Structures are given as C-alpha cells and as structure tokens.
Amino acid sequence: MEITLHSPLDMHLHLRDGDMMNLVAPLSSDFAGAVIMPNLVPPVTAPGAMVAYGERIDAAMGHADFTRYMTLFFTKQTEQQLLIAKDTPGFFGFKLYPAGITTNSEGGVSNLADAESTLKMMEEMDIPLLVHGESHGFVMDREAEFLSVYRTLAQKYPKLRLCMEHITTAAALELLDEYENLCATVTLQHLIITLDDVAGGALKPHLFCKPIAKRPNDRDALLQAALNGHPRLMFGSDSAPHPRCNKESCGCAAGVFTAPLALPKLAEIFTRNNAIDKLQGFISGNACRIHKLTPTAKTVTLHDTPMAVPTAYRSNGQEVVPMYAGEEISWSVKH
C-alpha cells in the first residue's frame, strides 16, 4: 500500500545552528518546506541575521528542493522594521514568545499591551503572528490560561493571521472553532502521548516538551480534529533536537525530536484510523490555503514497509535521540 503526499510542510520546525543543524536539517528533507523557528542564541530578530541563517540552512540541507519559511523573533517591531522584514526574501512571519517560557525565549515579550501598534500594522500588512501560547502558571494550566490572550487578539485584530502554535488541549481546539482568524499547528507527539507517557511510569526525558503533554481527553480531541480534517489545523512538528547530554541529565531540556519519523508515523496514524484522505490537508493543504503558500512542488511516497527508528542520530560529536528510538514504525518513506 502506498500514499502519495504533495509538498508536505512542517509548519513549526527547530533547526538550531552549527553542527546540530548540519545533523538535523537533512533529516527534514522529505518535506517540501518548513516554518523555521528563530529561537537561536541570540534569537533571530534582524532581517540580515535571518537571511544569513537561511543561507546556513540551505547549506546544511545540501540541496535546494526545500522551501524555508523564515520567522523573526517578535520584539514589538517598528513600522520601518516590519516593512523591511516583509520585503526580505524568505520572510514568513513573526514568532511571539512570552518571556522566558521555553528554550532561548528569555528575550520574549512580557506585556502584549505594549505591542498594540505593531500588531495593528502586522494586521494591515498581512504578516502572520505565530504564538507560543503559554502563561507562567501551573504547568498543566499554562495553555488554558493563555487562551484569553488569544481571544483578545482574535477579537482586536480580526484580520491578523494568528497562529496558535503546538496546541495541546481540547480547550484550544474549542477556541479555534470560535474565531475564523485563528489557525493552529499541532505536533506529532501531542496527537499520541499524554502526561502519562512522560511521567506516569518511569520519567521519560525524550518525551518531555513545552507545552507538556496533557490529559487523555486533550490528546483524543487533537487526534480527532486532525483525522476529521479540521480546516485550520496544520501539522507543525516542533521537532526540537537537544544533545543527548542535555536530555538525560538532572535538568532535562524540553523538546521532542521527531523530524525524521514524522511522515511515516503520520501515515501510520491516518491509515489506522481510516483517514488517509485527510492527511494531505493536514500536512500541506490547510497551510497553503491559509498562508497562501506555494512551496516547492515535491511528491513524497510512503509505503507500509516498516521504518526502524535509530536509537540516535549522530554526526560531528552531536547526538540526538528521536521519539521512538530503537522502535519500529509500520510505514516508511519510499526513496
């Protein structure tokens, strides 16, 4: 059995930089393109730095058959800065992090009220705003507590393309249904796991991410929305590599590395649930329609031949452990 996907997109990807990027970037090359997160150290705030980062990504990918949608770290940019960003080739949108909420987000925004004029201009210029939507509250409540911010933004800027990144709760899905100007990405792991998988048996650092996996009803709601072909729900892996030593230590960094196995696992999930016809929209169609994207024309064929997931990916002293390390996925990319 085979599935052919046209120009699959990863709408939320961390490629890091340097040796780590050289290791992980080629592992996303089955995708036609990806939205690249700007949370390097220091974060990518200037168009010049973004262009240079994009060129380093191209070099790391090793081929041109990959469209990178670059983002800039949101810092309440001025009109002049917005205009320059919009005119910079490869620019896609701004990523907003509440200050200090995840890896390298210390420079994020702490008060959105100060950002009003920037958001108004982004609405007028039709620049998307991608948001890491978590409060600083109790870990299981952070996304739910942030929904009121999304609601305010959706009401205040009805034409702003507002993307709730990596949603993890049934409540976020309900909000998505309330406002037509909201869209959302969801990761592979949040379609599959709950907090039980992270901390219900032994503690599993390689399944620890932010936002943390939530309750079974949240996971079930996200999976059903994807399988039902929710028109404003897009795949964004949030694949976030960390060196093994930063995951298996006294203070494990947040992030699940799924890039190399995301397409096979999605094929497995969608076929098992008799929803193959909904996969194209989830993996590309919704994003292209919402964001008016025309990625590289690329066809990826998946077949029901097992993929043995490596225990780790290694290169140049870098070592990253993927989700399903050492396990088998019943589908694979046909190369």
Binding site for a second copy (CB under 8 A): 138-140, 194-196, 198-206, 208, 212, 215-216, 248-254, 321
Give the nearest distance from C-beta 323 to a second copy in angstroms. 12
Minimum CB distance to a second copy smaller for 101 or for 266: 101
Minimum CB distance to a second copy smaller for 220 or for 328: 220
DSSP H or E run through 42: none
DSSP state of 187: -
- Cβ atoms of 296 and 7 closer than 8 Å: yes
Report which of 25, 87, 24, 95 is spatially closest to residue 51, judged by C-alpha positions.
Answer: 87
Dist. CA 292–CA 310, nearest whole Å: 36
Q: Is 196 a catalytic residue?
A: no
Minimum CB distance to a second copy smaller for 22 or for 189: 189
CA triple 323-30-103, angle to 5 deg: 45
Give the nearest distance from C-beta 108 to a second copy in angstroms. 15
Dump strand ranges (E) for 50-179. Answer: 67-73, 91-96, 129-131, 162-164
How crowded is residue 206: how many other Cβ atoms within 10 Å of its Cβ? 21
Max intra-chain CA distance, the chain: 53
- Cβ atoms of 256 and 187 closer than 8 Å: yes
Q: Which of 17, 19, 238, 304 is labelled catalytic? A: 238
Whether a cis peptide bond, with omega within 30° of 0, leads into 98 is no
Give the nearest distance from C-beta 132 to a second copy in angstroms. 15
Instruction: Tell me the catalytic residues.
Output: 238
